[in-house]
């Protein structure tokens, strides 16, 4: 690495030659923290912004925002958007867009509710596990249909998914002619995080401690593997600090979820089921994006589609797979949403596509393609849901909430442009 004395000598020679003086090669504090922790500077900045948002809303609401009850509801309400945002990362990384996710959620959710409640001509209503399997299969078919148009039909993703937005919103209405379908199976409702839709204090603590143990084990195992192959590693103290920080976050989350009691019994609720579903999706999608050929192909396509095709990647097949994954995630989000509402309504998921896209972009996914992370999208979803929840507690009108969220989205894209320009 170039020393400061050598940099000064280079600057002096450059000035003598008439050239502009070069700045010293020093990292800013935020960049230094990012280098030691392995986190993106944008994620660190977004995490700081989230802390500020929470503190401001807690002050304005008189301490209501950061209560266990509100944070519990915040986690449940943001689960569906977070689930779909993990798939939107791959879509945008591959230089596509999906405007249909909200309508697909509504269509699949209404289909699941209809099959659970209505008695069909050929038999009784379906049981809830069968309706979930049907919903996931339907999501696969929707993703396949849209992916084929985009990959093999040559129709831009914007046009195909805009058509899907209209088609599936209309289809959701046609299933019951606009009628709301309710109530759903009591066991199925637990997937939405209702009164009994959480795992309790004991299971939450056990899950939290297991997560901490796995975090420490995987971190040190990866470090040992990198040392074995003479790859650069972070300082040991930085690794330990990251383990401590993530462990504190996990334990703090469990404590907050356990601090919100069930009504009448006053027993701790624990982690809600929708959040567990979200965490499972995040782990799976992070693994798929970072450690599988499919994930590497997606990022290669986003970085340079022509080079990816020339290197032997089947770009068309990978594109279809991306939209099939997105369809499945919409189905999972539909399960969580219908279970939480205990009903199927044709308006489910209206404008959800905007929140999903905004979550991915705010979380650091570049609209230019090739750059994005699953944890960043979840952080973006938390930011979006926090803004909406905080303004709702302040009794801000729907129209004003839309204006604020729109401005935040524009600011996030501007920040992405400035950040990429600085990297270049």
The string of pLDDT tens digits covering residues 349-400 is 988 998 999 899 888 888 888 888 999 999 999 998 999 999 999 999 988 9
The dihedral region occupied by 272, where left means phi > 0, alpha psi between -120 and 50, and beta the remainder, is beta
Higher pLDDT, 8 or 334: 334
Distance CA 390, CA 405 (A): 12
Q: Is the pLDDT of residue 105 over 70?
A: yes
Greatest distance between any 2 Cα atoms in the chain: 90
The string of pLDDT tens digits covering residues 107-149 is 999 999 999 988 665 566 788 999 999 999 999 999 999 999 9
| CA distance readout (Å), 68 to 3, 154, 196, 211, 340 | 50, 49, 16, 21, 19
pLDDT range class, residue 6, cuts 50, 70, 90: very low
Distance CA 164, CA 171 (A): 10
Instruction: Report residue 267 as tokens.
Output: 């027993």
Set out the domains of the chain in order of their start, with CATH numbers: 39-197+272-365+372-423 (1.10.3470), 198-271 (no CATH)
Mapped onto helix, strand or coil, the DSSP state of residue 146 is helix
pTM of the model: 0.88
Instruction: Report residue 27 as tokens.
Output: 């990292």
Can you give the pLDDT at residue 2?
Answer: 44
Please report how many Cα atoms fall inside a 13 Å half-sphere around the Cα of residue 281, on the Cβ side.
28
Q: What are phi and psi of 292, to 5 degrees?
A: -125, 160
Q: Cα 211 to the chain's mean position, in Å? A: 19
């Amino acid at each position: 690495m170039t020393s400061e004395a050598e940099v000064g000598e280079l600057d002096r020679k450059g000035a003598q030659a008439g050239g502009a003086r070069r700045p010293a090669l020093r990292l800013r504090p935020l960049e230094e923290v990012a280098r030691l922790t392995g986190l993106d500077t944008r994620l660190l900045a977004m995490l700081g912004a989230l802390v500020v948002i929470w503190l401001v809303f807690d002050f304005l609401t008189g301490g209501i925002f950061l209560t266990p009850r509100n944070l519990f509801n915040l986690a449940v309400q943001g689960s569906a958007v977070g689930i779909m945002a993990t798939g939107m990362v791959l879509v945008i990384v591959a230089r596509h867009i999906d405007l249909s996710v909200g309508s697909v959620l509504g269509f699949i959710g209404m289909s699941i509710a209809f099959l659970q409640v209505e008695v069909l001509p050929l038999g009784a209503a379906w049981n809830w596990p069968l309706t979930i399997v049907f919903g996931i299969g339907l999501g696969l078919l929707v993703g396949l249909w849209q992916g084929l148009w985009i990959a093999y039909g040559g129709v831009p993703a914007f046009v195909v998914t805009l058509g899907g937005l209209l088609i599936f919103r209309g289809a959701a209405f046609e299933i019951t002619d606009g009628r709301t379908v309710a109530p759903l199976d009591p066991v199925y409702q637990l997937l939405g995080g209702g009164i009994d839709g959480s795992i309790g204090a004991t299971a939450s603590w056990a899950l939290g401690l297991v997560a901490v143990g796995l975090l420490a084990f995987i971190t040190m195992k990866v470090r040992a593997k990198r040392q074995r192959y003479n790859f650069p590693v972070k300082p040991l103290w930085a690794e330990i600090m990251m383990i401590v920080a993530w462990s504190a976050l996990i334990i703090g989350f469990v404590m907050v979820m356990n601090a919100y009691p069930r009504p009448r019994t006053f027993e701790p609720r624990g982690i809600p089921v929708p959040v567990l579903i979200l965490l499972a999706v995040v782990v799976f999608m992070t693994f798929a994006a970072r450690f599988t050929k499919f994930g590497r192909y997606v990022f290669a396509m986003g970085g340079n589609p022509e080079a990816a095709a020339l290197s032997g990647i089947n770009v068309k097949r990978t594109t279809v797979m991306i939209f099939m994954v997105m369809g499945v995630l919409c189905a999972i989000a539909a399960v969580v949403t219908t279970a939480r509402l205990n009903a199927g309504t044709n308006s489910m998921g209206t404008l959800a596509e905007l929140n999903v896209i905004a979550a991915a972009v705010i979380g650091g996914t570049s609209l230019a393609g090739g750059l994005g992370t699953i944890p960043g999208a979840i952080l973006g979803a938390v930011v979006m849901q926090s803004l909406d929840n905080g303004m709702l507690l302040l009794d801000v009108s729907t129209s004003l909430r839309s204006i604020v969220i729109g401005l935040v989205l524009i600011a996030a894209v501007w920040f992405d442009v400035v950040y990429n320009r600085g990297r270049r």
